[in-house]
């Protein structure tokens, strides 16, 4: 199972390429999309300013290809100017989309941008992971309720015998002093308002 991280905003994605030609292409697409766009009646930067910056970079890039003294430095300066304008454009498009969240996706895409994908994380369930301290393991369980307590146990003999660990009010704890190079099992049970739960299935980890 996967859980999407909630994000109330639809975000503008703008990953600018390093290659001059690719940067110019992206800027030209944006300029074309913004020209006469009813979603952006007063764009900032203006279409005229963006167009001029793109033209300047095209000219400077062509000059740099001739290896004329100082041409590469001028090209780099024109590139920096265009990148600054594109970053300002992204901020403007984002603020416009934020003002109309129901239509944010359409607004962003109409401006020649793409939408940033929401990050996705895996639900690891009950799991254990090593820490930076030798003989220490962090165990994490799914939260059982807003208010719950958790009993923990460990075993170093394959589950034949279990040792009680300190109870916690959070669904996690760090166990220290474990024998290294040993496979240790852990299990837990949660107690909520309705009563005490059953012990979970054990998990194993090789302690380092």
Give the other-Cβ count within 10 Å of 167's Cβ: 12
CATH architecture, domain defined by 124-207:
Sandwich (2.60)
Smallest CA-to-CA distance from 125 within 195, 186, 168 is with 186
Distance CA 57, CA 83 (A): 11
Question: For residue 112, how many other CB atoms are within 10 A of its CB?
Answer: 20
Summarised one tens digit per residue, pLDDT across range 102-135 is 899 999 999 988 888 766 566 789 999 999 999 9
CA–CA distance, 57 with 208 (Å, rounded to integer) = 56
d(CA 203, CA 188): 10
pLDDT in tens, 94-106: 999 999 998 999 9
pLDDT at residue 189, as a whole number: 97
- Would you give the distance in Å from CA 43 to the centre of its chain? 28
Report pLDDT for 3: 34
Tell me the per-residue pLDDT of 148-201, one tens digit each, with 9 for 90 and over. Answer: 999 999 999 999 999 999 999 999 999 999 999 999 999 999 999 999 999 999
Q: What is the residue-averaged pLDDT of the chain?
A: 91
Three-state DSSP class for residue 109: helix
CA distances from 127 to 111, 138, 151 (A): 44, 8, 15
pTM over 0.75: no
Domain range annotation of the chain: 2-115, 124-207
């Amino acid at each position: 199972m996967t859980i999407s991280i909630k994000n109330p905003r639809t975000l503008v994605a703008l990953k600018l390429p390093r290659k001059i030609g690719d940067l110019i292409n992206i800027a030209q697409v944006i300029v074309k999309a913004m020209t006469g766009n009813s979603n952006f009646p007063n764009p900032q930067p203006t279409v005229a300013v963006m167009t001029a910056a793109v033209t300047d970079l095209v000219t400077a890039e062509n000059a740099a290809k001739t290896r004329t003294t100082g041409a590469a430095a001028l090209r780099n300066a024109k590139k920096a100017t265009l990148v600054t304008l594109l970053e300002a454009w992204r901020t403007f498009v984002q603020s416009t989309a934020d003002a109309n969240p129901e239509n944010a996706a359409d607004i962003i895409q109409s401006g020649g941008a793409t939408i940033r994908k929401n990050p996705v994380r895996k639900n690891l369930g009950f799991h254990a992971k090593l820490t930076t301290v030798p003989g220490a393991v962090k165990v994490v369980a799914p939260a059982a309720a807003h208010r719950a307590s958790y009993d923990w146990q460990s075993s170093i003999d394959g589950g034949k015998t279990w040792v009680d660990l300190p109870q916690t009010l959070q669904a996690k704890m760090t166990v220290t002093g474990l024998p290294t190079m040993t496979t240790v099992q852990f299990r837990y049970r949660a107690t909520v308002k309705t009563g005490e739960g059953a012990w979970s299935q054990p998990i194993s980890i090789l302690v380092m």
